[in-house]
Amino acid sequence: MKRFFLAFLLLALTLVLLTACENKDDLPAETTAAEDGTLNFSSFTAYDLDGNSVSGDIFAGHKLTMLNVWGTYCGPCLREMPDLARLATAYGEDFQLIGIVIDAARMNAAKNFVQRSDKIEEAKDIIAQTGAHYLHLLPSESLADLFLNEVQVIPTTLFLDGDGNVVGQYYYGSRSFEDWKSVIDAHLEALS
């Protein structure tokens, strides 16, 4: 009986996670990134899917960075990736897009992130299939401390300026190319 209850609970939780980002009415209200406006990503460290070290230096030289948290199991995330791929190349050097594959690493008992090679390979396959050939990062302790520990819905997206400061609000759920373009254009205009 315990096994049945645990299996049912796991299935229910999975269905909630998979559908939460599908219906925008069920999403949390979009919120400002930090109440005091000081959330800054300039000192984070992480690795990309190929094991290369990445730091907050990647924001320099770009007016705006779109940071999109996604998962290999998230249908809405995967459906928006072709549109994100188009956006990644639509703006030139002023704009860059970075993905964080939330399930490509997991936190162990010592509170360290351990890479999941099966999920990294699955993410690489998804990237190839969707054409989303922009930078994708693995979760890290510093990203968890900054932001990832607060992520409740995927996809979750936020925007950063060239100094790594979060601008605007968090965006929950997937959007179309045109919807994201409108958001990006407004942020670029505000940063000019």
Domain 2-191: CATH superfamily, name plus number: Glutaredoxin (3.40.30.10)
* pLDDT tens digits, one per residue of 28-51: 444 444 444 568 999 999 999 999
Q: What DSSP letter does each residue of 19-71 carry, written as one string?
A: HHTT-GGGSPPP-BS-TTS--B-TT-EEEBTTS-EEEGGGGTT-SEEEEEEE-
* pLDDT tens digits, one per residue of 100-127: 999 998 877 666 777 888 999 999 999 9
